[in-house]
Amino acid sequence: MAIWVTGDIHGDPSRLSVSHFSEQKEMTKQDENFVIICGDFGLVWDYLGESKTEKYWLNWLEDKKFTTLFVDGNHENHNRLDTDYPVEMWHGGKVHKIRPHVIHLIRGQVFDIEGKKFFTFGGASSHDIQDGIIDPDDFVDEDDYRREAKDWWLAGKMFRVKNRTWWEREMPSAEEMEEGIENLKKVDNKVDYIISHCASTSTAAIMSRGSYKPDVLTDYFEMIEKYVDYKEHFFGHYHMDWTFKDIKQHVLYERIVRIN
């Protein structure tokens, strides 16, 4: 049994092919092996439903000799995650099973996986919406919306489209954050690993030299890190690979790190 962690895949799990992730050659279906993706999974994305590309890659992952686990990032179709898959209990916490061995770890849960406790909390604030969000429902018809979106794109604007490429649920609710606190209390505020998409406020400031602004979620992780006894915190989102050894934190993108 082994547990691995990596960063955003944005709908392309080819990083987990045998040629890149050769350790899976030694795995068998009978073993319990896990790969955890720190958000921006991107294979529950198309607003019209599961696309042919999504279906292909999800089935590809299902056929692997490991179970794929992921927390949600900001670039997920949160409407589909919330409505297309029933909530189930798995290893002590709530999940959505996209496939039997492709599993979304819901926010604010504590999972017991092979004797290790994992606190999971997805979500993040998008960095690519500086010029705004277009809502197709604000237009007379689809053609009118598409003309406006094309104009924004040609003008080089940084924007996304509500409920098509951006969802309000990228950021957590107060109820989700409270559930996370309550679940941590049940394990005496002690876990082995924190798995998230974004970092705490102070860590984000270190990475960006102050250019990443705090928000309710980064402040939440700042608080969690102060009162929870944990070994290591893994997160994605920032498209870099770095380890902050003095503060037990790792930002992951292309690296695949074994944690046991």
pLDDT digits (tens, 9 = 90+) for 132-152: 999 999 999 999 999 999 999
Question: What does R_g of the chain's alpha carbons equal in angstroms?
Answer: 18
Cα 100–Cα 105–Cα 107 angle in degrees, nearest 5? 155
pTM, two decimal places: 0.95
Q: Where are the beta strands (DSSP E) in 57-186?
A: 67-71, 87-90, 93-99, 102-105, 109-113, 116-121, 133-134, 160-161
Q: What's the whole-number average pLDDT of the chain?
A: 94
pLDDT digits (tens, 9 = 90+) for 170-194: 999 999 999 999 999 999 999 999 9
Residue 82 has pLDDT above 70, yes or no: yes
Q: In the structure, what pLDDT confidence band is assigned to residue 31 with cuts at 50, 70 and 90?
A: confident
Cα 157 to its chain centre, rounded Å, is 25
Q: How many angstroms separate the CA atoms of 240 and 238, rounded?
A: 6
Contact 103, 58 (CB under 8 A): no
Between 43 and 30, the higher pLDDT residue: 43
DSSP-derived letter for residue 11 is T
User: First-to-last CA distance in the chain?
Assistant: 9
For 48, the 3-state DSSP assignment is coil
